[in-house]
A and B are shown apart, each in its own frame.
Chain A
Amino acid sequence: MTNANTVILKRFRTGRDLGKIIGGIGLALLVFLAAVPILWMIYLSLKTNSEILTKPLNPPTEIQWVNYANAFKKIPFFSMVKNTFFVLIVAVPGAIMLSIFAAFALGRMKFGNNRLQHGVYTFFVSGVIMPTCVLILPIYLFMVKIGLYNTLWSTILTHIGWTAPMNMMIMVSGFKTIPDSLEEAAIIDGCNIWQLLFRILVPVAKPVISTSIILTFLSCWNDFPLARIMLIDPKVRTISLAAAYFKGTYSTNLALMTAGCVILIIPQLIIFTIFQRYIIDGVTAGAVKG
């Protein structure tokens, strides 16, 4: 009797554990599925060109590290990375600096009946719905006219303008939540307007500013539609743009192309993993506010 009871009890327990294990495996599979595209590319990059073409599933007869050596030799990674970083290093701080100034004015400067501030703010934020692809031709014609076409400056300046609505939306509300007393105390203590902004307000508004930095960074980083039109010379190609030409240039050399993609993606994944908490939180906060 007691024996039968313990057997039933045991069975019950193993049943629950089994459910847990199956759930765990299911979840792991689902997560694995998300990683498949990248793993598949890495797998292909270790094979010869004809193996990729004819027997994509079969493991390589010999691991082809040489693909990576060839990729480094043939693909101008250095100039791609250099161009991308030049855009980021100028556009992100530039956009953030100007946005801090504007958010300071729109969120903190109280005078009159505040109608002016509200009007300018609405004008900015209405731009957030803009599908930017619509704007590229006029910007292209403008850049040709002022002689910045085919230079990295054309994309830098455009990105500063394009990220303005989003940054205003995030930052102005952040600046508005700072209590007035903090500002009054600073003014009584004799802060001038610059000290007030950079010593008092910016440190308090750090969370919204970092959200803006992340979103501005990502929108410059992910840009392709604009770069494709503005940057024609191979010397000024950014990462996205140069990668787009892999398809035409290396369509007969898939081994080189897969290795090239892996070389571009791995550093991105490492950087993402280091900053993942900030990036995920920043992107989510930006989206929730929008």
Chain B
Amino acid sequence: MNRVYNKRTFWLFVAPLLLFYIAFIIYPLLMCFFYSFTGYRGLGKAVWNGFANYQRIINDKYFWISVRNSLICAISLFIMVMPLSFLYALWLKKQTMRNSIYKIIVFASYVIPGVLCGLLWSFILKPNNGLINSFLRAVGLGSLSQNWIGDKGILSPISFSMVCAWSSMGFYMSLWQAGLKGISADVLEASALDGCTGTKQIFRIILPMLKDNTVSIIIFILTAALKIYEVVFILTGGGPAHASETIVSYLYNTTFDGMMYGYGMTIAVMEFLFAMLITLFSLSLSRRKGE
């Protein structure tokens, strides 16, 4: 074997991809950290200004609003996705013709790009003539109609996560189903014979057996919420007055529309740190599992 493989062939095969990886992930990340310590605005040279940007971000009201909004996105995404995707998975478990058609319908939205999802939902969420409010008014519940997008409070991030929940429902459903497949029919039969059926069976037998799936779905939801951008861009653009920014949309608007490269990269570093935090959280969970 050693005659075929040696260090030279190894590097020959690894180098091309490694080059791309360094050029488009490692190098930009280092540059991102570097710019975050400068007041660079795209002209001239990037001048080092120490921790000025970091001092600024601590007192930046809009940044903390964007963090709050991303957090609301994560929580509401969790509330919407967890029970519903599990229900879909459970109900569509049996492999029949009807169920596979249903599954295609539920999953289909996953392949539609985020921008188009946003456009689709803009016609549902628009306060004056969107589907939800028009429907509520038509059935006489006009008082329940809401300012789904463009509100200054927490409704906009909830609307964003509604769109994300819709587009990723099928994905989470198939994650649950991958777990359900692993539970043997014997276990379910035995528990049913012992009188454990219906919801009792779901909560006492099925969910405890799917602990790993539950954890990984939570991690996916957190990461997804941290990356919400397209929907914000289409539905509110972060407005009114930055009230509906998520971390990523604020990062974008500051960096590219505000042309504040240095400060924008400080927001990017924060985004990176949040991603690291989620990873550490998931690692600690999986380590505890290993013990």
Contact = CB atoms under 8 A, between A and B. Distances in A.
Given A41-B120, A134-B29, A139-B24, A164 B105 contact: no
B252 interface: yes
A133 B229 contact: yes
B69 to A, nearest CB: 16
Interface residues of A, number: 89
A37 B121 contact: yes
B21 A240 contact: no
B13 A124 contact: no
A111 B27 contact: no
B35 A138 contact: yes
Interface string B86-126: 01100110000000001111111111111111011111100
A18 interface: no
Interface stretch (A6-14, A26-34, A69-77): A26-34
B171 interface: yes
A52 B87 CA distance: 34
A135 B28 contact: yes
Contacts of A37: 109, 117, 120-121, 124, 166
Contacts of A136: 28, 255
Contact of A287 (B116, B220, B234, B276): B220
B2 interface: yes
Contacts of B117: 37
A225 B29 contact: no
B124 to A, nearest CB: 6
A284 to B, nearest CB: 4
Contacts of B164: none
A224 B114 contact: yes
A122 interface: no
A283 interface: yes
Given A37-B120, A41-B123, A111 B10 contact: yes
Contact of B174 (A40, A111, A228, A280): A280
A258 B121 CA distance: 11
A137 B255 CA distance: 8
Contacts of B279: 129
Interface string A114-133: 00110010001001011101
A84 to B, nearest CB: 10
18 contacts: A27-B92, A30-B91, A56-B129, A57-B135, A98-B17, A102-B16, A105-B10, A111-B2, A120-B14, A133-B248, A134-B28, A135-B25, A160-B20, A183-B1, A240-B115, A244-B230, A258-B123, A284-B171
